[in-house]
Amino acid sequence: MNSLPVIVQLIVSGLAIGGVYGLVALAHSMLWSGVRVVNFAQGELLMIAASVSLMFVTGEWGGAKLPFVPAFIIGTLFASLFGFLIYILVIRPTTKTGFLFVIGGCVAVQMLLQSIAIMIWGSTGKPYPPIFPMTPIVIGGVYIVPQDVFILAFSLLAASFLWVFLTRTKIGTAMRASSQNRSVAGLMGINHLMTDALTIIIASGLAGLAGILLAPKFFVTPTMGVAINSKAFTAAVIGGFGNIPGAVIGGLLLGVIENLAGGIFTSQAKDAVSFIILILIIMFKPGGLFDAGPGRKA
């Protein structure tokens, strides 16, 4: 069983799901480093994006069946909108009272969105038509699913686009500046309202993107985001909470480790391993794997 092709197989399929974890982790890291908030209802954005785009793909909304790309864009925009609304209506007012209330508010929003989703779309899982075939191709004894390759490639592409946006454009530089030192960035004439809103919209959009990428692999259900969100937290912590490249690497790492654990031990070990890694990292390397030490930015 533990022959080399099987291991390679597990690593390859782990990378695909790892890419999705990486995107959601990236959203968490962006929110934390840019706006200093945590959206615990991030998983529901995945669900909203996947469900809405599924409605357009199947023609349930508007009658005509849309092709994948517009449905994809609309789903992502919905996630951005909801992420922004959650921030304005719940996270911002509760932040003044205390972190406990941010958690309470977000968790209640999570319940609210899930119950609304059950009312609109029903509680049963719906299949999402895959963009690429799900039948595996054999390359050197390794079975590779084209959809998995697409997921990985697209999430890496999205992450690198984001990186280029953050480092090469003026707005991106402003966003990084306000994440490094908020008050000084404000003194330099950076409009916090703009950078905050942009960060939240991009981060929520990323989460939505992850949801649509993941949808063909699993079913679209009202609770699909919960498990992914908890994995994404682990991925973000592995890379250092708030570290943007670290989040993607953490996601890929977690996907691979989890899949290896699932293949070598039992499938239940898969879920436990994420929590054990989380506790170990927080205890022994709280700044993440790429933390160079106090005072230095990795």
Q: 234 vs 243, which CB is nearer to other proteins?
A: 234
Judged by CB under 8 A, does residue 271 bind other proteins?
yes
What letter represents residue 170's amino acid? K
Q: 171 vs 276, which CB is nearer to other proteins?
A: 276
Q: 147 vs 229, which CB is nearer to other proteins?
A: 229
Residues 72 and 74: their CA atoms lie apart, in Å, by 6
Q: 38 vs 162, which CB is nearer to other proteins?
A: 38
Question: For residue 294, what are its two tokens?
Answer: 């106090």
| Radius of gyration (C-alpha) of the chain in whole angstroms | 19
Angle at 34 between CA 32 and CA 37, to 5 degrees: 40
Least CB distance from residue 279 to other proteins, whole Å? 5
Residues 120 and 91: their CA atoms lie apart, in Å, by 25
Angle at 149 between CA 148 and CA 155, to 5 degrees: 90
Least CB distance from residue 274 to other proteins, whole Å? 8
Helix 68-86 vs helix 99-121: angle between axes, to the nearest 10 degrees? 140
Judged by CB under 8 A, does residue 118 bind other proteins?
yes
Judged by CB under 8 A, does residue 88 bind other proteins?
no
| Among positions 94, 179, 199, 221, the unique one binding other proteins when judged by CB under 8 A | 94
Q: Which of residues 30-69 bind other proteins (CB under 8 A)?
A: 32, 38
Judged by CB under 8 A, does residue 124 bind other proteins?
no
| Among positions 98, 125, 129, 141, the unique one binding other proteins when judged by CB under 8 A | 98
CB 173 within 8 A of CB 51: no
Residues 210 and 113: their CA atoms lie apart, in Å, by 18
Least CB distance from residue 99 to other proteins, whole Å? 4
Judged by CB under 8 A, does residue 169 bind other proteins?
no
Q: Which of 48, 24, 44, 36 is nearest to 91 (CA)?
A: 36
Least CB distance from residue 207 to other proteins, whole Å? 17
**Angular region, 269: left φ>0, alpha ψ -120 to 50, beta rest:** alpha
Question: For residue 231, what are its two tokens?
Answer: 């994995």
Angle at 37 between CA 291 and CA 47, to 5 degrees: 100
Q: 111 vs 164, which CB is nearer to other proteins?
A: 111
Window contacting other proteins (CB under 8 A); options: 16-24, 192-200, 249-257, 282-290: 282-290
3-state secondary structure of 138: strand
Least CB distance from residue 189 to other proteins, whole Å? 30
Judged by CB under 8 A, does residue 104 bind other proteins?
yes
227: how many CB neighbours lie within 10 A of its CB? 13
**Per-residue mark of binding to other proteins, 218-257 (x: CB under 8 A):** --------x---x--xx--x---x----------------
Binding site for other proteins (CB under 8 A): 32, 38, 90, 93-94, 96-101, 103-105, 107-109, 111-112, 114-116, 118-119, 226, 230, 233-234, 237, 241, 268, 271-272, 275-276, 278-279, 282-283, 286
